[in-house]
Every structure is written in structure tokens, then in C-alpha cells.
Amino acid sequence: MITSLDQKACANLLGQNYIGQLAYIYNDAPYVVPITYFYDKTKNHVICYSGTGHKLNAMRKHTTVTLSVSEVLASHLWKSVMAHGSFKEVQGSDAKAYLHQFSIGIKDIIMQQERKDLDYISEFSSKIYNDDIPIVFLIKVDHMTGRSRSK
């Protein structure tokens, strides 16, 4: 049976994971790319980072985005959530603080779920190429929708 997830269940699913699919608009077409993220439940926003490129250029033009996260255990046993919100680039000391929170938050999730102790962001997230400084951004979550199926 497929059922809707309430807001608490949506937030829990988003908060218990760190890899999702980011959807945004580029040249009037939808794009969906995998991304590592951290969900801050207290502020209801998602923290991400990226190198410069088409994804950031696109989100700067069209700030409405969606992050989709799924947990699939079997064809009849799954949960998914879509967090709809707006892109906001962060700079300076705020960016450093958010990147630190991102790193610590994901390390905690991995420690709880996989029992691995990690030291560096590159162990669980894409590397920034050419030694570029990462660009930190938030997705301010406006609303979430979710579904689950159990047999």
C-alpha cells in the first residue's frame, strides 16, 4: 500500500540520508544530478557545495529547486521525499561555518549508519577539482512531500 508521509516523516527521511538528486532548470530544460547534502532540521534548510559550473550558473538564474531522496529496500518497500525550495549562495565566514556543519553532520550520519569514522570531506563527497574553493549554497525548504510503500 502506498501512503503519504507527514512532514515529520519527510524531515526524518531527509535528515537520515546524505545523497540525493538535485533538480533545477538550465536553458529551459530540467536537469537532475546526484549531490551530497546535509539537512539542518532546526533551520529547515539543506547545505550543499559545488565547484563552479553549469549547475551553479543555472541555480543563480532560476532559484527554485527540488531535492529528491529515496530509500529503496525492495520493490514493495520504499520511502521517498521531495524537498521543494529556493537556492541561496553563501559566502565568507558563513560559508566556512556551513561547510563545517555539512562535514560534521554527514560524518555523524555515516558513523551511525555504516560505523565508519571518516576524516575528510573527499571521503564521502565529490572532490573539488583544480583546487577551486568550493561554493557553498543552501536550499531553503519551503515544503516537502513524501510517499512510502509497504507491501
What are 47-86's pLDDT values in tens digits?
Answer: 999 988 999 999 999 999 999 999 999 989 999 999 999 9
Residue 110 clears pLDDT 90, i.e. is over it: no
Euclidean distance between CA atoms 102 and 80, whole angstroms: 22
44 grid coordinates: 529547515
Euclidean distance between CA atoms 31 and 106, whole angstroms: 25
Of 50 and 134, more confident: 50
Per-residue pLDDT reduced to its tens digit, 111-121: 887 655 555 45
Closest by CA to 38, choosing from 82, 115, 90, 99, is 99
Note whether 111 and 117 are within 8 A (CB).
Answer: yes
Least confident of 3-7, 103-107, 118-122: 118-122
